[in-house]
Amino acid sequence: MENNLPILGVTLFSFTNEWQQQLYTLDTMIARVAELGLGPGIEVVGFQSFRSFPDIPDDEAHHFRKILDKYNLIPTCLGANIDIGRRRDRLMTADEIYDIVRRQLISAKKLGFPIMRVPPYAGELTLENLLSLAEQYQIQLAVELHSPLSVDNPVVVKLRSMFERLQSPYLGFIPDFSTSMIAVPEGHWRNLRRAGASEALIEAAKAIWLTNDPIPNKFSALAEACQQYAATPEVIGQINMTMTMFGHMPVERWCELLPYVSHVHGKYYEVNADGIEPSIPYRDLMQLLKRQGYHGTISAEWEGQAHTEEPIGFQQVLAWNSMCKRFLEA
């Protein structure tokens, strides 16, 4: 890859099926990534990859950095989590949210990550209060923008306003390609058929998804369709995700985010036999990043495990890597 192009890599979240089936340890998974040439970037979800998380001991952090050095891989992003509903009686308080994010930021420093992904519900106050520590550690606190969040979402508008006010390179976004999809993945419809959804309901859901109506309006229309086609509670639970997991913000709107972006989630569900992701306009997205001079990192994030339990993550990431290089080098 040319030096002025984005740096490709992978989030180990792509290998969730492999994790769950205990086919790899963290060390052997990283070794396999290196063997297949899927780096150099390595992104890790803290709670998925480290038993000691969020409080990583020094020796475990040293071992992780040593493994990456051994295979000439680079740490790109640590995925932080906030389980605000972990208690049955109440949600986490602002002080508890601050503390859990702070502990993960300390571990990000130990592990050598320059960016830490933060969920949007961390809140502006938490981000602002942690900024001095992030600046001391030289780690960017980057809010993930996953569908249904888009440029015009009030949460994003408020965050951008805060970023502009504070003018710190240690605050930013991690946009996810799920915000700009052109179709709902076929695996999602297969899951719904297995759950008992009728073809008439699926066609109605496809038509509703394609509209530019606000999400609350889409949910209202979908609720009517579910009633009309006698959807079961299981089908209703799954089909509601159609309107939140798969956004279709125009690709051009990414230009408004890029001044705040150093890392991107290359979400995808499948790369078909033609080397294309049918539900996401990868060619347009990659060409836009190239045209705009983006030379940060992009992690392959295969989320096909939502539709299959097969341990095919490495196969899928190989196909993603080849597809992205083809579009970037065109």
The per-residue DSSP string of 43-87 comes to EEEHHHH-TTTTS--HHHHHHHHHHHHHTT-EEEEEE----TT-S
Sheet of 74-79, strand order: 171-175, 140-145, 115-118, 74-79, 41-45, 7-11, 297-302, 263-268
Tell me which residue has tokens 């038993």.
Answer: 51
User: Does 146 participate in catalysis according to the annotation?
Assistant: yes
Q: How far is CA 314 from the centre of its chain?
A: 17
Buried b (16+ CB within 10 A) or exposed e, 238-270: bbbebbebbbbbebeebeebbebbbbbbbbbbb
Distance from C-alpha of 14 to C-alpha of 313, rounded to nearest angstrom: 6
Length of the chain: 330
Distance from C-alpha of 159 to C-alpha of 177, rounded to nearest angstrom: 19
Is residue 30 within 8 A of residue 13, CB to CB? The reply is no
Is residue 183 within 8 A of residue 276, CB to CB? The reply is no
Is residue 14 within 8 A of residue 271, CB to CB? The reply is no
The three-class DSSP label of residue 302 is: strand
Structure tokens at 84: 């605000």
Q: Which of 62, 63, 146, 265 is catalytic?
A: 146
Q: Which residues are catalytic?
A: 146
